[in-house]
């Protein structure tokens, strides 16, 4: 096997910025890495020494990296190494300073060539413009319909239409400009038409779906929750953001994978919390109200960790740590705020039982002899809460008298 190697300098998005090819000299290929012009691979990184490391490939294709007495050393598989002892490079990727390098040899198995089916790509500039036009027409039509049906005074219709359309154009223009700027920074091109297509298509789909939900709800009398529309919008935005993060990190959106994560997490949370409520009501267990939010936090932690693993190059352990920390910190703050508000309310009565059909009730309620003392205790608790609130927040009359 010929001792040749290609050293690739990777960007922050794991894309190749520069390639260096080295042939065999005396049965071995080698090169030096550093900031000095005397090095074979020259890096513009202030955390890299003038001559930082040496890469060697023997006739069998074995790759070793040697630190040349640098301050920051070399990092292989998350472990930092110093000294002049050669370290074998199994994964092909290592880091010097803040720069990642990848070494490829003749032992690398190259994927087969993809077949070119011929013809132009289906997603061309013309297709983008057609999609933008269609999405814009649908969005404007739905917006006009919503304003028309919600305006009670005919004389105010024209003003409401102009105001709404100008606000919509301003917000979407700002959104498209921000994402075009981000694309310009990341890829060197604005891609504003593509971002405009995304906004127009997303707004059109969300508007049509929520409109159909309202129409079906009114026509069939389903009395669906008003949360359905905003929930669909939130799920779509959530999936789109994670797909964008995956696109930036790995060059592919992986939106199906992120949609599966969201759907699985929401389904598990809904089923488990529903079962907990039914069992709680049927058996009269009087479980703590923290159980439901705790289950939600666990599901969100798992889903967030899965999103981070699929949308960022971070390790699974770090992703799990972040995914667990954020939901539980938010849960602790919410529960503390809720408990403080409940303790300060004299009229609050904790009721943790779900009303279930009589056929599901396996444990009957308390007897009258046990219920009466509990009922009498409510007045004492309310008086205690009222006294606490008066001490913490005295009324204006008391302030003036003082």
pLDDT of the chain, 402 residues: tens digit per residue = 567 889 999 886 677 889 999 988 878 899 999 999 999 999 999 999 999 999 999 888 889 999 998 999 999 888 898 887 888 888 889 999 999 999 998 888 888 887 765 545 555 677 878 888 888 888 888 888 888 888 878 778 888 888 988 998 899 889 889 888 887 776 677 888 888 888 888 888 877 777 777 777 777 766 666 677 677 778 888 888 888 788 777 767 788 888 898 888 888 888 888 787 777 766 666 666 777 788 888 888 888 888 888 877 777 888 888 888 988 898 889 888 887 777 666 666 665 555 555 555 555 555 666 666 766 676 777 777 777 666 666 655 554 554
Q: Which tokens go with 279?
A: 């069992």
CATH code assigned to 5-105 = 2.60.200.20
Q: Which residue has the tokens 């009359």?
A: 397
In the three-class reduction of DSSP (H, G, I as helix; E, B as strand; rest coil), residue 30 is classed as strand
Q: Is residue 135 a contact partner of residue 201, using CB atoms and an 8 Å limit? A: yes
Q: 326: phi > 0 → left, psi -120 to 50 → alpha, else beta; which? A: alpha
Residue 28 has what DSSP assignment? B
Provide the pLDDT for residue 316: 81
**Boundaries of every domain in the chain:** 5-105, 124-224, 247-347
Task: Please count the residues of the chain.
Answer: 402
In the three-class reduction of DSSP (H, G, I as helix; E, B as strand; rest coil), residue 85 is classed as coil
Q: CA distances (Å), 281 to each of 147, 295, 362, 363, in order? A: 44, 17, 9, 9
Return the H-helix or E-strand segment holding 94.
strand 93-96
Q: d(Cα 120, Cα 131) in Å, to the nearest integer?
A: 17
Exposure string of 163-176, with b = 16+ CB inside 10 Å and e = fewer, is ebeeeeeeebeeeb
Strand partners, 180: none
Q: d(Cα 278, Cα 364) in Å, to the nearest integer?
A: 14
Strand partners, 65: 55, 87
CB atoms inside a 10 Å sphere around CB 209: 15
Determine how β-strand 79-81 pairs with β-strand 87-88. Answer: unpaired
Q: d(Cα 140, Cα 142) in Å, to the nearest integer?
A: 6
Residue 251 has what DSSP assignment? S
Smallest CA-to-CA distance from 10 within 100, 76, 103, 77 is with 100
Q: Is residue 310 a contact partner of residue 246, using CB atoms and an 8 Å limit? A: yes
Smallest CA-to-CA distance from 172 within 145, 144, 140, 127 is with 140
Provide the pLDDT for residue 347: 64
Determine how β-strand 29-34 pairs with β-strand 53-57. Answer: antiparallel
Provide the pLDDT for residue 402: 47
Residue 114 has what DSSP assignment? P
Q: 124: phi > 0 → left, psi -120 to 50 → alpha, else beta; which? A: beta
Q: d(Cα 51, Cα 317) in Å, to the nearest integer?
A: 34
Q: Is residue 67 a contact partner of residue 82, using CB atoms and an 8 Å limit? A: yes
Q: d(Cα 277, Cα 272) in Å, to the nearest integer?
A: 9
What residues contact 139, with CB distance under 8 A and at least 6 apart?
168, 200, 203, 204, 207
* Alpha-carbon radius of gyration of the chain: 31
Task: Decide: residue 383, CB within 10 A, 0-12 exposed, 13-18 middle, 19+ buried.
Answer: exposed
């Amino acid at each position: 096997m010929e001792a040749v190697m290609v050293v690739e300098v990777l960007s922050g998005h794991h894309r190749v910025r520069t390639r260096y090819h080295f042939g065999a000299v005396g049965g071995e290929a080698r090169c030096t890495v550093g900031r000095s012009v005397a090095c074979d691979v020259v890096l513009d990184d202030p955390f890299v020494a003038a001559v930082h490391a040496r890469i060697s490939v023997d006739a069998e294709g074995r790759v070793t990296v040697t630190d040349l007495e640098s301050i920051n050393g070399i990092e292989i598989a998350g472990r930092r190494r110093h000294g002049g002892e050669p370290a074998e490079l199994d994964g092909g990727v290592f880091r010097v300073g803040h720069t990642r390098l990848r070494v490829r040899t003749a032992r690398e198995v190259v994927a087969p060539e993809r077949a070119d089916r011929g013809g132009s790509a289906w997603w061309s500039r013309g297709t983008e413009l057609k999609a933008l036009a269609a999405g814009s027409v649908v969005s404007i039509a739905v917006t006009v319909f919503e304003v028309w049906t919600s305006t009670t005074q005919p004389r105010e219709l024209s003003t409401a239409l102009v105001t709404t359309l100008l606000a919509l154009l301003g917000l979407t223009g700002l959104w498209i400009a921000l994402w075009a700027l981000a694309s310009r920074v990341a890829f060197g091109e604005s891609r504003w038409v593509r971002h405009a297509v995304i906004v127009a298509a997303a707004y059109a789909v969300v508007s049509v779906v929520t409109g159909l939900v309202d129409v079906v709800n009114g026509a069939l009398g389903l009395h669906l929750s008003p949360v359905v529309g905003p929930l669909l919008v939130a799920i779509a935005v959530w999936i789109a953001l994670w797909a964008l993060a995956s696109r930036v990190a790995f060059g592919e959106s992986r939106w199906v994978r992120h949609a599966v994560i969201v759907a699985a997490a929401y389904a598990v949370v809904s089923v488990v919390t529903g079962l907990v409520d039914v069992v709680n009501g049927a058996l009269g267990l009087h479980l703590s109200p923290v159980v439901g939010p705790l289950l939600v936090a666990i599901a969100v932690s798992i889903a967030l960790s899965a999103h981070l693993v699929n949308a960022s190059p971070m390790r699974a352990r770090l992703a799990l740590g972040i995914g667990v920390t954020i939901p539980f910190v938010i849960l602790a703050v919410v529960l503390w705020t809720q408990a403080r508000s409940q303790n300060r309310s004299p009229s609050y009565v904790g009721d943790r039982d779900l009303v279930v059909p009589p056929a599901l009730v396996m444990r009957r309620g308390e007897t009258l002899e046990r219920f009466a003392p509990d009922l009498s205790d409510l007045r004492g608790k309310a008086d205690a809460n009222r006294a606490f609130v008066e001490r913490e927040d005295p009324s204006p009359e008391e302030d003036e008298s003082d």
